Structure 1
């Protein structure tokens, strides 16, 4: 499947041109101390949740040592808009600072969006749902393929594709992932279910504190109808086949199922959610 040419160049050009524009404006690029009250949250910031305890730890560090890494701002009519460094900005306020070091960049909306999204995605403390939403936004706003988005944020294509699949979850299940009640592994297993069945399964996972393996087993029982009244439990599947399914899924970055009969004849089923994802699977198989 052929790729559309030139799809990530707009992002590269945008960021490089923003940098070049600053080369002749040394005063704009110099580090400055900016009053906190003049800074407002950036409209392109993808971060939603910041753990209070992590923010407090950072505030304590800033109170003791000062803010070592500057934030990145751009000028707006009534002050400055935050492009990168929201955690530092919030923690500095908690620490009682009145001004913070900042790099000022006069850049257009699209470049500001790209910088904010990439800076936040590359942070390790984004939860899976926040990261999926931010990568999706980056893809939509700049017309990137999964591969180009992966390169932009320092992730593998498989990791990006798996994250984006979380956006197919039911809203109630997305909220559980967003709030930290479910981990990435749980969410990936639950994607095999749809609608209310997915939501009910997710609630069971949270209530019973199931592991990822236990969640996968629950999903398979539900798919086989074992948990429905009046139906006999499905026969246990060969553990060697289950391990092979898991290994293949990890290798190609997509759910795999092996169906077979007593004679050993069967089929290999690979699930995908978009042609772009299928393209990536085919590339890894070749």
Structure 2
């Protein structure tokens, strides 16, 4: 059994070992596998998919996907990238580990498998950690599952404190993770201003990090005289 799991990653292997229910390795027709709601990835690198598909055409799919029974077929739990590449490669069936899993276990496995990859965007990574946190896992537990340090998990989650416009810009590659961290140095109410400064002026990360100093140096608007303030209120 350990040989079957060797390519799945230590965090995923631990989850599989802890999950209840039987497990078997079989070949399943692609037509019987449904990409379900537990899949956390929203975007795939087309060039990387084509490259993987070419490798599968030449050597076959060496690492099985993970599925759970659903109706008359199966629901994909882990390995969506391999599954899509196998479709492109023209395979009719794939090796699969079949595992009885409840919804929570399936989602946790899907998240951990994806978070162990190196090609996730910073926002996808942060949202994956957030979903695991919502399931009751501590930052320490998440770090252990995905093979990262606790500080890496905590810092990634901080990105979700940014306004949605900044997260979209990060996803689209208009700003980098370094720019995003620089925005987090600003007061919450000034982060959209900081984003506009970065985008409109093409600031480097180093320049973006100095935006907080510009805010400190900016003269504060003088408070109105108390009597004038009362007159304005009247």
TM, length-normalised to structure 2: 0.80
Note the C-alpha offset of 1:15: 4.9
Note the C-alpha offset of 1:76: 0.2
**Rounded Cα–Cα distance in structure 2 between residues aligned with 1:224 and 1:92:** 57
Change in Cα spacing, 1:214 to 1:110, as seen in structure 2 (3 Å) is same
Q: 1:220 aligns with which of 179, 195, 213?
A: 213
Change in Cα spacing, 1:211 to 1:78, as seen in structure 2 (3 Å) is farther
Q: 2:46 aligns with which of 52, 57, 61?
A: 52
Change in Cα spacing, 1:90 to 1:222, as seen in structure 2 (3 Å) is farther
Matched, 1:175 2:176: no
Note the C-alpha offset of 1:183: 2.0
Note the C-alpha offset of 1:201: 2.4
**Rounded Cα–Cα distance in structure 1 between residues aligned with 2:48 and 2:195:** 27
Contact 1:193 1:223 (8 Å CA) reproduced: no
Contact 1:15 1:111 (8 Å CA) reproduced: no
Greater RCO (Cα-Cα under 8 Å, separation 6 or more) = 2
Structure 2 unaligned residues grouped into runs of 5+? 1-12, 222-234
- Give the RMSD, CA atoms, in angstroms: 2.5
TM, length-normalised to structure 1: 0.67
Could you tell me which residue of structure 2 aligns to residue 234 of structure 1?
none
Change in Cα spacing, 1:198 to 1:223, as seen in structure 2 (3 Å) is farther
Pairs within 5 Å for 1:5-44: 15-18=16-19, 21-22=21-22, 28-30=23-25, 32-44=26-38
Change in Cα spacing, 1:223 to 1:149, as seen in structure 2 (3 Å) is farther
How many matched pairs? Answer: 210
Could you tell me which residue of structure 2 aligns to residue 273 of structure 1?
none
**Rounded Cα–Cα distance in structure 2 between residues aligned with 1:51 and 1:149:** 25
Contact 2:183 2:191 (8 Å CA) reproduced: yes
Could you tell me which residue of structure 2 aligns to residue 98 of structure 1?
92
Note the C-alpha offset of 1:14: 6.9
Structure 1 unaligned residues grouped into runs of 5+? 1-11, 23-27, 231-286
